[in-house]
Amino acid sequence: MIFKAVLGERPYPPHGLSLREWAAIPPRQVRLDQLTTTKRELALDKLLAEDSTFYGDLFPHVVEWNGGMYLEDGLHRALRAALQQRTQIHARVLVL
């Protein structure tokens, strides 16, 4: 199993963080099997693109809420890490 669970929605309340505010959160290591994704689908072309993080944050965004860790942004990066046999990723974690 790669992720703890897969959802099609965000179960936590809106946080309203901008990309600049996300960038202020230092990345830390997170185990992939502790993450619940908030997206059910991914685009294969984005997964395989070499420059997929060129216009975005290098680190996935995770929201920790009610004892769960939810992968809000960075599904492609997390799955790419899993395909490389890695069990952890560095992510920015917002604790609500």
What is the torsion angle, in degrees rounded to the nearest 10, for the CA atoms of residue 20, residue 73, residue 81 and residue 36?
130
Inter-residue contact 60 to 69 (CB < 8 Å) = no
Nearest Cα residue to 90 out of 57, 54, 59: 59
H helices present in 1-96, as ranges: 19-23, 44-48, 75-83
Q: Is the pLDDT of residue 8 over 90?
A: no
pLDDT in tens, 11-64: 999 999 998 999 999 999 999 999 999 988 776 666 566 655 545 558 999 999
User: How far is Cα 59 from Cα 89, in angstroms, rounded to an integer?
Assistant: 8
- Where do the domains of the chain lie? 1-5+24-41+56-69+77-96
Cβ atoms within 10 Å, residue 45: 9
Q: pTM for the complete prediction?
A: 0.84
User: How far is Cα 96 from Cα 87, in angstroms, rounded to an integer?
Assistant: 24
